[in-house]
Amino acid sequence: MIPSLQRVTTEYVETEDRIRLNGLADEDTLCIWLSKRLADRLVTAVTQLLEQQHVEQAEGVKNDLLSFSQQAAQQRTQRDAEEPVAAAVKPEASWLVLSVQITPTPHSLRMTLVGKNDQQKAELNMGIGNVRQWLNILFSAYKRGQWSTDAWPEWMHSHFTPKAAQGVESKKIH
């Protein structure tokens, strides 16, 4: 059975130059790492899925709606901040994601994070609002790591300011 992450802390770790997801699953803590290359692919896939929700809108209106939705998610993240999930201490509980399987539904998204073997899998199920909050946190992690944000759509850039990023860098979703 694939562990389901109930709470996740997302942060950039400078010494690794990677994004770390510390996730709580069935009383165990997993430390899951995302490379820049895979994070870019994940960002593209997730933001395209969100854009499909507004496919009937004119491009300018669609970008405004998407940007507004991201602003609202960012405000919820700042308001609903919880204690971060501690990093895993068992070596086998820390692994690098090699692929992500994304399964969308009308109101949620399931990401299956896959490492190098069958023991290195975890699921992250989020409602669309939580997906948007997580994207804000991930975008902030990119900024903190001084990573290029070329993979991110304009509607993510348009609402994000350094002041808005304060307090968003390492929040939990769920």
- Going through 36-150 in order, the beta strands assigned E by DSSP cover 94-96, 99-104, 108-114, 121-127
CA distance 148 to 142: 7
- Judged by DSSP in three states, 13 sits in strand
pLDDT-based confidence at residue 26 (cuts at 50, 70, 90): confident
- pLDDT at residue 56 above 80? no
Quick check: 68 pLDDT over 60?
no
pLDDT score of 130 more than 50: yes
Residue 5 has pLDDT above 60, yes or no: yes
Supply the DSSP symbol for 143: H
CA-to-CA dists, residue 32 to 1, 43, 82, angstroms: 17, 16, 19
The C-alpha atoms of residue 61 and residue 113 are separated, in whole angstroms, by 33
Report the chain's mean pLDDT, rounded to a whole number: 81
- Give the CA diameter of the chain: 50
pTM of this prediction?
Answer: 0.76
Residue 93 pLDDT > 60: yes
Highest mean pLDDT, choosing among 84-88, 133-137, 160-164:
133-137
Residue 121 has pLDDT above 50, yes or no: yes
- C-alpha–C-alpha distance, residues 85 and 25, integer Å: 11
- Give 139-150 pLDDT, tens digit per residue: 999 999 999 999
pLDDT of 120 > 90? The answer is: yes
